[in-house]
Structure 1
Amino acid sequence: MRIRLPLSILLLLTLLVSGSGLTAVSATSANMAVAAVGAAPPKTSLLQQHVERWIGQLSKNDAFHAWRGAGYETSPLGPGTHSWLVLVKQKKVTVGYLVVQALDDGGLSLGEYGLGSHPLYDAIVLRGAIERLELERAPLSAVREYVHPLLAVWKVKTDSDSFEYADAASGEWLPLGEELWKETRLAEANVLGDGLRSLTAALTTMRTNEPFDVYDRMPWLTASPLSLSMDAEGSGRSAGRGAGGGAGGEAGGQAEVSFTLPALLDSDEQIRYAAERYEGTALFVWSVIGYHGWNEGTVYAALQSSGEEDHVRYIPLTLLARLGSFYR
């Protein structure tokens, strides 16, 4: 039997976060609770200063024009991750998001940001995911868990001792059990993406290319990845073989070349990014359609999923290089 969640559940999934950092709302009609669990925000002025600085800088980019004059709502991600989801709102409509992460030294970092009306942990996306499970009854709870951009899920409790895990962006169900989730989370708890930290951060370079079908070619199956190393400015300098090297093989006799990922995108190259996650049980693939460069030297790559032209995620290039591979 397929279950269709009532409108009341969708409304409850718009999470309201109290000052203590925990709000759980029970839905008697569907026997489901949605919890926003996490650390209380840092001093309001510090969080506001960073968020408003970053929003102001990004709104200068034409692609982020909807952010000009926008407001925002903040709620914690968790549990125990010291991260916050900031939804950017224009006349009550979500137009993008940021994820802010607390650092051990008391500072804040911009973990990722993006465009679109259905950002990370979107209630409508979750509702569709739950309907695809075709459960006999509604889930008991759904909790947002965020470690870093490539380790972000909805943890959905389907009965008293069972959990399902859905990707926080797409809502796709992941081949994850509780043990594998705990192992992956523990192993990557200290993975940082070298995101922005400074209150004086300024957006200095921007590039947005035309969207393309990431599956039009699948070089992650047939070709060697670009061999990336980060230069002093974090710009993603790549040292690799010339075209023609297949997966697992050498491009014999060809001279080694060096270039930066931004330079490739500036030349309208179609770059793809692929990451095998959860002990190789899941493969994530995105089109790389642009980048942002900041005065601190931080570069965020713009990733887009197939068929989602209105939704773009900007993730630190250093984190992407650490956890996956880029392909021409």
Structure 2
Amino acid sequence: MFVTRRFLPFLGVLLSFVLISWPVHAEEQGGWEKAFQAQIQTWMKELASRDPQFKEWQKADTEVQTLGPNQHQWLVSIKKADKQVGYLVVGETVESNVPEKFVLLEYGVGEYILFDDAFAPREIAAEPVYDGFASHWLIARQSSAQMVNAKTGEAYPASFAANEPTVLQNLVQTGQKLTQTRTLQSAQTDPFDQIGWFNQMQRGSAVTWSELWQQQNNASVTLTVSLYHAQVLAPYAVGSLHLWNDQSAYVGVWDEGLRFVPYVYADKIGKFYVSSPQVRPPQS
């Protein structure tokens, strides 16, 4: 078992994260690049105008790198005045006779991004692999492969193995708007400061999206995620909630910055717990 400040030993059934298999680019690279950059700017402006936590994204610069071979996934690094202020993880899906369609796999605000060069392994063979909370650099060795956490640079034991992919749905797509936001914890929070979630996890008293959305400000909500074939348990304090087009839900958790992932994904591989439930009844 693997134990760190963030990860705890955990036994149980693990559902894994999706890696979408993306079709090829549009034939004319110039047109594709223009559409890609335009969509990035649209999402950045949408977040900066709708959520004050993203205000530094206004007129910020971007750098793009490919994640993994033939995955059609890109990491967009966002900087302002040479200071890292966030990132996007963008994927692409192309349907027959339909223009390019981009999807938002993940996004985050703060100075620590996924696959930061400061934490990158020095081995030449290290390959970036996006897999949600299990994102990692994969280091090929003669006898075995090793994974290094893409957020913290923490090396996992060589015995750890990646999970099988699972198809995800309800991702933010081209043209969607950020229509609703909620802030539960506006400052970095350590889930170990309040461990009521651990007792609730034993009782199986997880909450739904509707209950999540109804939580009051400063509510203590924890997302627990089991990773790497249930060899670790990662708890995250929930900071914010986003709703795109009133239908695509994303959850922002504190992880060396605020990190947003699709609710569908988070709910599939983990569970949400409220340490001191303060759920208001739905409005009629």
Deviation of 1:213 after TM superposition, in Å, equals 2.4
Q: Percent identity?
A: 25
Aligned to 2:17: none
- Unaligned runs of 5+ residues in structure 1 are 1-37, 131-137, 230-235, 238-259
* 229, 242, 253: which one aligns with 1:292: 242
Aligned to 2:134: 151
Deviations 1:114-155 (A, max 9, x none): 0122200001123xxx5xxxxxxx634211011x31231111
Aligned to 1:268: 218
1:323 and 2:273 correspond: no
- Structure 1's 109 and 228: CA in aligned 2 closer, same or farther, altered over 3 A? farther
Deviations 1:51-85 (A, max 9, x none): 11100101112111110111211111112322110
- Matches of residues 47-66 of structure 1 in structure 2 within 5 Å? 47-60=36-49, 61-66=51-56
Partner SS, residue 59 of structure 1? helix
- Unaligned runs of 5+ residues in structure 2 are 1-21, 27-31, 275-284
Whether the 8 Å CA contact 1:87–1:97 is kept in 2: the answer is yes
1:202 and 2:177 correspond: yes
- Matches of residues 195-274 of structure 1 in structure 2 within 5 Å? 195-199=171-175, 201-208=176-183, 209-211=185-187, 212-223=189-200, 224-228=203-207, 236-237=209-210, 260-264=211-215, 266-274=216-224
**Structure ID, larger Rg:** 1
Q: In 2, distance between residues paired with 1:225 and 1:167?
A: 28
Whether the 8 Å CA contact 2:242–2:251 is kept in 1: the answer is yes
Bigger relative CO (Cα 8 Å, ≥ 6 apart): 2
Give the TM-score, by structure 1 length. 0.66
Partner SS, residue 192 of structure 2? coil
**Greater mean deviation of Cα atoms: 220-229 or 161-170:** 220-229
Whether the 8 Å CA contact 2:145–2:158 is kept in 1: the answer is no
Aligned to 1:118: 112
Q: Which amino acid aligns with 1:279?
A: H
Q: In 1, distance between residues paired with 2:169 and 2:116?
A: 23
Partner SS, residue 72 of structure 1? strand
Whether the 8 Å CA contact 1:119–1:169 is kept in 2: the answer is yes
Whether the 8 Å CA contact 1:175–1:282 is kept in 2: the answer is no
Q: Which amino acid aligns with 2:263?
A: L
* 131, 151, 154: which one aligns with 1:172: 154
* 225, 230, 234: which one aligns with 1:280: 230
Q: In 2, distance between residues paired with 1:177 and 1:144?
A: 19
1:141 and 2:92 correspond: no
Whether the 8 Å CA contact 1:41–1:76 is kept in 2: the answer is no
- Structure 1's 277 and 51: CA in aligned 2 closer, same or farther, altered over 3 A? same
- Structure 1's 143 and 172: CA in aligned 2 closer, same or farther, altered over 3 A? same
Q: In 2, distance between residues paired with 1:111 and 1:290?
A: 17
Q: In 1, distance between residues paired with 2:58 and 2:236?
A: 27
- Structure 1's 193 and 166: CA in aligned 2 closer, same or farther, altered over 3 A? farther
Q: Which amino acid aligns with 1:194?
A: N
Q: Compute the RMSD of aligned alpha carbons.
A: 2.4
Between Structure 1 and Structure 2, how many residues are aligned? 239
